[in-house]
């Protein structure tokens, strides 16, 4: 049986092992070096960037590999975040079992849909299942009707805009503009204890490494090849008897769940989730790191998200307003001059240095199709 | 009955602003496939133009007409600048233009914040537009009537231009089939730039009109851009008639929903209705039938 692969050289052993070597290096850097080298404050900031990075890994799969510009990941980030925040609020609640802000804004009556989030297990399940189910339903509706390209991007953006508005409007149950904040504990551990903060960082780092491993595996599977084929020539995939809706749906759902997990970790690490973390601007902000690092590469999105997060904190600390200019310029420069992101520069440099046998792998990973 | 008339009217006037924003988008989106997120910031530039003209021509009756003309020019020039410096290199990557222009929008917003300050600015309504006109037993604010008339005039002008002039024929030819138009000697590059000028200029006009309804701030554009894009998508990309219908439907529909629920809930329901509508007609109200697969 001839597979399309026969026309290319088989990936070398090094190229096959590449992601796992990279993962190992990243694991050492995140789990060993960073906790030793960084102050507790900086480590806390890094933990926050890791949450963005987890969401970015999913965006890389959906956008870089699948060609779907997911502009609404803030919605899934928020679903995960608010689910976690609701549980933390309930766990912190006083003897009457009602979260403090509800006594402040409303008459102290808790709506029924808050009740399940008392249970830690239900909360953890909801963080994965609610966004996963929503993404499946939306994805089926969108991809089966062959809504794609700009239509898809605008639709996903509109959904996240609607979600943010909904959160703002329902002050009594969601905390409105201020969101949910002021958490004291995390599954029984005090959030004021530095040791527990370090534990949260390590959890975030572990989750990021796991999501990278998951996506690395998906990228190399037959699904990953089908996804790229769908990105580059959807009609051809259809003519060959495959349903392009399936790979797109799977990538979209994985991206949604990863964003939700990132959001859920964001809550105890940062201590607040508000409509600002969810809306249109936040959603596009998640894209910035992915574009910078290289949307179609494995590590690019995560590293890009960390870099953008770092740049944001550093620049906004120094001069107010300069971050906005910088972020704007970043979008313009990267997408205009470097659509493959920084990882494409790296790939080109290595290729120029003579690593010709890697070309196939890079052609697969680095090139961005005209969508 | 009276409230129904009032709601239709309020909806009609907010739909008019929306239409002015969306019609420029549908021109550029339909013709070049460019998704211009900075369009909202062109609207903002128009709003600040009205603010500046009003403070220079203090209280003069002429300040609004002057602002409309200058707002159109400023919006249009910003559009041309964007097209000439950035977008012309990206016509083969339409989806990426969304993010690039978002970046441009961020910079323009921050510029406005640095120049005019973050708090919202109020532009006083000219005296000749104050007061109400009684129609069907309800007092209509003259400002809103003016906006409806302005929007109708702009759209009618655009239609006439597209139907009757040489430029309009060139634009329609380019939208219909770029390669064929080019082979017939039409400079599609020049046509693109002109279209961008007109579309962006209309956003500037919308910005000036907006100051009659409320105050203006650096982020005024972002609140309009998502909805305007939805209007374009619902109407069918590149379809002026569809855009008009969609803008009216969305504007009036929201005004009715707002009377039943809160403002934010109305917007959420409207968005969900649009998602449901796209399930039935994924290409919008009007579609151009082609044999292409894409």
* DSSP string for A295-347: TTSSSHHHHHHHHHHHHHHHHHHHSTTHHHHHHHHHHHHHHHH-TTHHHHHHH
Per-residue pLDDT at B120: 85
Q: Give residue-wise pLDDT tens across range B154-212.
A: 999 999 999 999 999 999 888 888 889 999 998 988 999 999 999 999 999 999 999 98
- Calculate what percentage of chain A has a pLDDT beyond 70: 90
Domain ranges of chain A: 13-277
Q: Give residue-wise pLDDT tens across range B267-277.
A: 788 878 887 88
Is the pLDDT reported for residue A370 higher than 90?
no
Least confident of A10-14, A287-291, B141-145: A10-14
Asked if the Cβ–Cβ distance from B110 to A324 is below 8 Å, we say yes
> Mean pLDDT highest for which of A77-81, A87-91, A358-362?
A77-81
Per-residue pLDDT at A190: 84
Is the pLDDT reported for residue A147 higher than 50?
yes
Chain A residues in contact with B89 (beta carbon < 8 A): 336
Chain A residues in contact with B114 (beta carbon < 8 A): 321
Nearest to B86 among A146, A287, A336 (CB): A336
E strand or H helix at A275: none
Interface of B with A in 58-87 (CB under 8 A): 86
Per-residue pLDDT at B239: 79
Q: What is the spatial distance between Cα A119 and Cα A111, in angstroms, rounded to a whole number?
A: 16
Per-residue pLDDT at A256: 97
E strands present in chain A: 180-181, 185-186, 189-190, 272-273
For residues B156-172, b (16+ Cβ closer than 10 Å) or e, as one string? eebeeebeeeeeeebbe
Q: Is A371 on the interface with B (CB under 8 A)?
A: yes
pLDDT confidence tier of residue A249, bands split at 50, 70 and 90: very high
Mean pLDDT of all residues in chain B?
87
Tell me what ipTM this predicted complex has.
0.86
Least confident of A141-145, B29-33, B281-285: B281-285
Chain A residues in contact with B235 (beta carbon < 8 A): none
Q: What is the spatial distance between Cα A74 and Cα A57, in angstroms, rounded to a whole number?
A: 14
> Mean pLDDT highest for which of A8-17, A260-269, B5-14, B24-33?
A260-269
First to last CA, chain A: 31
Phi, psi values for residue B213, rounded to 5°? -95, -30
Nearest to A371 among B95, B229, B267 (CB): B95
Nearest to A328 among B106, B114, B268 (CB): B106
pLDDT confidence tier of residue A365, bands split at 50, 70 and 90: low
Q: Give residue-wise pLDDT tens across range A32-65.
A: 898 889 888 899 999 999 999 999 999 999 999 9
Per-residue pLDDT at A258: 97
pLDDT confidence tier of residue A84, bands split at 50, 70 and 90: very high
pLDDT confidence tier of residue A75, bands split at 50, 70 and 90: very high
C-alpha distances in Å from residue A77, one per residue of A55, A178, A307, B286: 7, 17, 19, 35
Mean pLDDT of all residues in chain A?
86
Is the pLDDT reported for residue A248 higher than 50?
yes
Is the pLDDT reported for residue A8 higher than 50?
no
Per-residue pLDDT at A262: 96
How many of the other CB atoms lie within 10 Å of CB of A108?
A: 11
Is the pLDDT reported for residue A4 higher than 50?
no
Least confident of A36-45, A229-238, B12-21, B250-259: B250-259
Phi, psi values for residue A340, rounded to 5°? -85, 0
CA of B265: which chain A residue's CA is closest?
A: A166
Q: Is A240 on the interface with B (CB under 8 A)?
A: no
Q: Give residue-wise pLDDT tens across range A169-196.
A: 888 888 888 888 888 888 888 888 888 8
Q: What is the DSSP string of B158-216?
A: HHHHHHHSHHHHHHHHHHH-HHHHHHTT--HHHHHHHHHHHHHHHHHHHHHHHTTTS-B
Per-residue pLDDT at A141: 85
Q: What is the DSSP string of B104-120?
A: HHHHHHHHHHHHH-SS-
Q: What is the DSSP string of B72-134?
A: HHHHHHHHHHHHHHTGGG-TT-HHHHHHHHHHHHHHHHHHHHHHH-SS-B--PPPGGG-SEEE
Is the pLDDT reported for residue A12 higher than 70?
no
Q: Mean pLDDT over residues A110-121, rounded?
A: 86
Per-residue pLDDT at A16: 65
C-beta separation of B236 from B284 below 8 A: yes
Is the pLDDT reported for residue A5 higher than 50?
no
Q: What is the spatial distance between Cα B222 and Cα A282, in angstroms, rounded to a whole number?
A: 13
CA of B98: which chain A residue's CA is closest?
A: A150
Q: Give residue-wise pLDDT tens across range A305-330.
A: 999 999 988 888 887 778 889 999 99
The three-class DSSP label of residue B293 is: coil
Nearest to A166 among B35, B90, B264 (CB): B264
Q: What is the spatial distance between Cα B41 and Cα B21, in angstroms, rounded to a whole number?
A: 11
For testing contact with chain B, the best of A335, A337, A338, A368 (most B CBs within 10 A): A335
What does the block give as tokens for A98? 């009602």
> Mean pLDDT highest for which of A51-65, A273-287, A325-339?
A51-65
Nearest to A331 among B33, B102, B237 (CB): B102
Per-residue pLDDT at B131: 78
What does the block give as tokens for A193? 């204890």
E strand or H helix at A220: helix A194-220
Per-residue pLDDT at B35: 87
A111 or A31: which leads in pLDDT:
A31
Q: Is B99 on the interface with A (CB under 8 A)?
A: yes
What does the block give as tokens for B224? 């309009």
Per-residue pLDDT at B121: 83
Residue from A233, A227, A334 nearest A289 by CA: A334
Asked if the Cβ–Cβ distance from A154 to B271 is below 8 Å, we say no
C-alpha distances in Å from residue A179, one per residue of A191, A266, B180, B219: 18, 13, 54, 21
What does the block give as tokens for B286? 């009007």
Is the pLDDT reported for residue A14 higher than 70?
no
């Amino acid at each position: 049986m001839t597979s399309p692969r026969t026309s290319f050289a088989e990936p070398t052993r090094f190229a096959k092992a590449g992601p796992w070597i990279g993962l190992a290096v990243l694991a050492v850097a995140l789990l060993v070096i960073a906790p030793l080298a960084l102050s507790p404050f900086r480590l806390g900031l890094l933990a926050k960037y890791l949450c963005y990075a987890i969401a970015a890994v999913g965006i890389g799969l959906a956008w870089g590999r699948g060609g779907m510009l997911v502009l609404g990941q803030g919605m899934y980030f928020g679903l995960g975040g608010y689910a976690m925040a609701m549980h933390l609020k309930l766990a912190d609640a006083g003897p009457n079992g009602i979260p403090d802000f509800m006594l402040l804004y409303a008459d102290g009556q808790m709506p029924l849909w808050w009740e399940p989030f008392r249970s830690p297990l239900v909360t953890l399940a909801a963080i994965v299942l609610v966004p996963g189910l929503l993404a499946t339903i939306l994805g089926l509706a969108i991809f089966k009707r062959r809504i794609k390209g700009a239509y898809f991007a605008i639709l996903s953006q509109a959904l996240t805009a609607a979600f943010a508005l909904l959160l703002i409007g329902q002050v009594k149950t969601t905390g409105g503009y201020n969101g949910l904040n002021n958490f004291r504990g995390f599954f029984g551990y005090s959030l004021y204890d530095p040791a527990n903060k370090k534990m949260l960082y390590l959890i975030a780092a572990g989750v990021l490494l796991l999501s990278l491993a998951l996506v690395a595996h998906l990228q190399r599977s037959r699904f990953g090849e089908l996804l790229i084929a769908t990105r580059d020539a959807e009609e051809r995939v259809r003519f060959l008897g495959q349903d392009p809706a399936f790979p797109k749906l799977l990538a979209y759902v994985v991206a949604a769940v990863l964003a939700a997990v990132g959001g859920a970790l964001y809550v105890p690490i940062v201590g607040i989730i508000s409509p600002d973390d969810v809306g249109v601007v936040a959603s596009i902000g998640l894209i910035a790191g992915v574009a910078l690092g290289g949307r179609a590469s494995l590590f690019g999105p995560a590293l890009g998200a960390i870099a953008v997060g770092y740049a944001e904190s550093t620049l906004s600390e120094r001069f107010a307003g300069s971050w906005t200019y910088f972020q704007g310029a970043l979008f313009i420069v990267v997408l205009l001059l470097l659509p493959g992101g920084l990882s494409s520069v790296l790939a080109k440099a290595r290729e120029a240095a003579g690593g010709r046998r890697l070309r196939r792998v890079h052609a697969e990973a680095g090139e961005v199709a005209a969508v | 009955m009276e409230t129904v008339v009032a709601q239709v009217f309020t909806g009609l006037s907010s739909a008019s602003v929306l239409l002015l924003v969306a019609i420029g988008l549908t021109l550029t989106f339909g013709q070049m496939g460019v998704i211009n997120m900075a369009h909202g910031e062109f609207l903002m530039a128009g709003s600040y133009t009205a603010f500046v003209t009003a403070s220079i021509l203090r209280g003069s009756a002429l300040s609004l007409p002057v602002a409309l003309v200058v707002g159109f020019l400023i919006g249009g020039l910003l559009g041309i600048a964007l097209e000439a410096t950035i977008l012309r290199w990206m016509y083969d990557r339409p989806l990426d233009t969304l993010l690039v222009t978002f970046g441009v929008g961020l910079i323009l917003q921050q510029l406005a914040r640095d120049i005019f300050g973050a708090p919202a600015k109020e532009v006083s309504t000219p005296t000749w537009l104050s007061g109400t006109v009684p129609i069907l037993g309800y007092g209509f604010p003259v400002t809103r009537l003016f906006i409806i008339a302005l929007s109708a005039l702009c759209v009618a002008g655009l239609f006439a231009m597209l139907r009757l002039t040489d430029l309009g024929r060139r634009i329609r030819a380019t939208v219909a089939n770029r390669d064929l138009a080019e082979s017939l000697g039409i400079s599609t590059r020049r046509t693109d730039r002109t279209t961008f000028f007109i579309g962006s200029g209309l956003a500037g006009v919308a910005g000036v009109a907006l100051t009659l309804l409320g105050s203006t701030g650096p982020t005024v554009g972002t609140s309009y851009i998502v909805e305007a894009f939805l209007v374009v998508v619902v109407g069918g990309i590149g379809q002026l008639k569809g855009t008009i219908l969609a803008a009216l439907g969305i504007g009036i529909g929201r005004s009715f929903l707002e009377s039943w629920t809160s403002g934010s809930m109305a917007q959420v329901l409207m968005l969900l209705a649009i998602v449901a509508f796209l399930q039935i007609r994924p290409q919008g109200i009007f579609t151009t039938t082609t044999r292409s697969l894409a």
